[in-house]
Amino acid sequence: MKSGSSQQPGHSTKADAIGTSSPCADCRVRQLNICSVLLSAASGEEILPGKESDWQDHKATRAHKNIKSAGERSDQVYVICDGWAFRFVQLPDSRKQILSILIPGDVITPTRLFDKNVRFSVQALTDLRYCRFASSILRAKLIADLAFLDAWAKLLVAERQHNFGLLIDLGSRTADERIAHLILDLKLRLERRGMMVERSFAFPVSQRLIAAATGLTPEHVSRVMGSFRRAGLIENGKGFLRIVDLPGLQRIGGLNL
Amino acid sequence: MKSGSSQQPGHSTKADAIGTSSPCADCRVRQLNICSVLLSAASGEEILPGKESDWQDHKATRAHKNIKSAGERSDQVYVICDGWAFRFVQLPDSRKQILSILIPGDVITPTRLFDKNVRFSVQALTDLRYCRFASSILRAKLIADLAFLDAWAKLLVAERQHNFGLLIDLGSRTADERIAHLILDLKLRLERRGMMVERSFAFPVSQRLIAAATGLTPEHVSRVMGSFRRAGLIENGKGFLRIVDLPGLQRIGGLNL
DNA sequence: CGGTCAATTGACGAATCTCAATCACCGTGG
DNA sequence: CCACGGTGATTGAGATTCGTCAATTGACCG
C-alpha cells in the first residue's frame, strides 16, 4: 500500500499572529478558506485561535481510511487542514460514485450544521489532517455573526454550483470533456488555495478514482489520459500533474456556457 | 402548441384562517411547503398573510415561457403556487441539461437569498402561477426567526441530497434505472404535496424533457417508456401517469443504498 | 385540410464497457 | 539483495448500450 502523502510544492510562512498552541498556527490555507472567517478575532468571543478546547480539535488519518460513513450521525463539522479526501456513495453493486474531491481547506461536511445525518461517506485519499468544529458553536456563531452566515451560505452556494457543473458533465458531455473539466476544476481550486507551482500541482488521484467521479471505467480513463498526454495537453507522473497546453485543455473541458 | 395546464386531482378546502385578499388564501399546498413557515402568524410581524404588498406579489406565466435566464440578477425568491417548471442550463450545442423538475410548492430559487446571480434558467412547463418574495425581507426573517432559518436550511439540504441522487443516476445507472428513478422521485414528491390520486398523478412532462433530465435522447426514452408500459409497470396518457406495478418499478429505479 | 410537434419504430454507427493480458512499480519477506 | 505479491496503468478485442438518422403515425391547431 502506497502512502501517498501530499507533498504540495511551496511552503507557507511559519510565524504568525496566531497562538502557537493550535495546529492552525502554521496552517497554509488558513487565510484562504472558511477558517479566515471562523478564526478571525473580530468575529466572536468564544472562538479564538490559540486555545484548542471544547469547540475545536484536530485529528489525523492514514490514506484510504474512511472518515465518515453514510448513515452515521454526527455533531461536528470537519475541515481539511492538509491532504486530500473524497465524498462518495457506495452503490449496492460495489461501485462507488464520487460526489466530490476535497482538497486542503475544503469543508468536508458543510451541511452538518443543519442536518446531523450523514448522507455519504468520506474517505481519505492521502494521509490527512483535519479539524473538527462543534456544530452547536458554529450554529451560535451563525446567528450572532452576519458575516459568518454570509460566508457559510456562500460555501453552500458554491458547492451547489459545483454540483450543477457535475450534473452537466455526467448528463451531457463526453468522456474527454468530463476528464478535462475535472482536471481544470481541480487546477482552479488548487490555484485559489495557493497550491500550484507553474502549471503543475500535486495530483494524488488514481485513475480508478477519476473513473468513479466521471462515471467512466478505469480503462477508458486510461485511454483518455493517454490521448491527452500524446496530444501534448498534460504531463503526469506519480502524484503530480502538469498542464502543458491550458488553452487546448480548456477547448475540450471548459464549461462554455 | 398544447397548453398543458396542470389539473391535479383533488381540491383543497377553501375557507381558511388566512385573509382572502391574497391568492395564498386558497393555495392548495400552503400547508405542505415552506410557506407554512413563511406565512405563519407566529413567525414575524411584517409578514402576515392577507396584505399583499411590498414583500410579496404573485405572477402568472404561460407554458414554455422562460421565467428567469442564467446570468440575470434578481432580488426575489420565487415559489411555485400552481403548475410545473424546470431548471436547466443551455449548453452551447443547443442541448439542455435539466437540473430539476419543479412542482407546485417548490421554491424555484432557494439560494437567491444569498446569491443574487442566477446560475441557471427556469422555464414554465405548464401555465404557471408563482409568488415572489423580496430577498431582503426573507433575509431579515432568517436571522430573526430561528425556525425559519432551520426550515430554509432544511430546504437547501434536501435539494443537495436530491442533486446527489441525480449524480448517482447520471454517473452510475442505466437508462432504465434513471427513468424509473425519475418517475419514483416525482411520485414521492407529488405524494407529499397531496397531488396523487390512487397511483396516478398529473404528468405534464414530455419525453424530450425526460431525456434532457436523464442525459438520454428522446428516442431512447421512448423505447424505455414503451418497455415499461409493455412490462405492465406504468400506464400513461396525455398529461398523466399511473404506476401500475410499484414494487416492480422500485426494483428497477429504487435507490438501493 | 395542411402544418407542426410529440411519440414511435427501425437500421445503423459510435462511445463506452467488459474481459483479459501485460507491464511497471513498490513494499515486503526471505 | 532479490523474488514475490499486490496494485495501478496500459493495451487490445469484442460486446453492449445508447445515439444518430430517417421515416411514420397520430394529435392538435389554426
Per-residue pLDDT, averaged over B138-145, amounts to: 89
pLDDT of residue B117: 85
Q: Do A89 and B168 touch (CB under 8 A)?
A: yes
Instruction: Pick out the nucleotide with least CA–C1' distance to B236.
Output: C7
* Model confidence at B234: pLDDT above 60: yes
Going from the C-alpha of A239 to that of each of A3, A9, A187, the distances in angstroms are 11, 12, 14
Q: How confident is the model at residue B202 (pLDDT cuts 50, 70, 90)?
A: very high
The partner residue sitting opposite A167, judged by closest CB among B156, B159, B167, is B167
Q: Of B204, B7, B9, B190, nearest to B124 (Cα)? A: B204
Q: CA A127, A129, A130: angle at the middle one, nearest 5?
A: 135
Span A66-104, pLDDT tens digits: 998 888 888 899 999 999 999 999 998 888 999 999 999
Contact with chain A for residue B147, Cβ under 8 A: no
Containing A121, the helix (H) or strand (E) segment is: strand A121-124
Counting residues of chain A whose pLDDT is more than 90, the rounded percentage is 62
Q: Do B163 and A161 touch (CB under 8 A)?
A: no
Tell which wins on pLDDT, B230 or B257: B230
Quote the cell numbers at residue B38.
413563511
Contact with chain A for residue B90, Cβ under 8 A: yes
Span A205-255, pLDDT tens digits: 999 999 999 999 999 999 999 999 999 999 998 899 999 999 999 999 988
Per-residue pLDDT, averaged over B102-121, amounts to: 93
CB proximity B238–strand D (7 Å threshold): yes
Give the number of other CB atoms < 10 A from CB of residue A256.
Answer: 9
Q: Among A8-12, A193-197, B117-121, B196-200, which stretch is predicted with the lowest mean pLDDT?
A: A8-12
Q: Of A256, A254, A255, A236, nearest to A244 (Cα)? A: A236
User: Nearest residue to D21 (CA, C1')?
Assistant: B219
Span B53-89, pLDDT tens digits: 667 889 999 999 999 888 888 889 999 999 999 999 9
Counting residues of chain B whose pLDDT is more than 90, the rounded percentage is 63
Q: How confident is the model at residue B185 (pLDDT cuts 50, 70, 90)?
A: very high
What is the DSSP secondary structure assignment for residue A45, as one 8-state letter?
S
Give the number of other CB atoms < 10 A from CB of residue A25.
Answer: 16
Span B38-55, pLDDT tens digits: 876 444 444 555 455 667
Contact with chain A for residue B255, Cβ under 8 A: no
Counting residues of chain B whose pLDDT is more than 70, the rounded percentage is 86
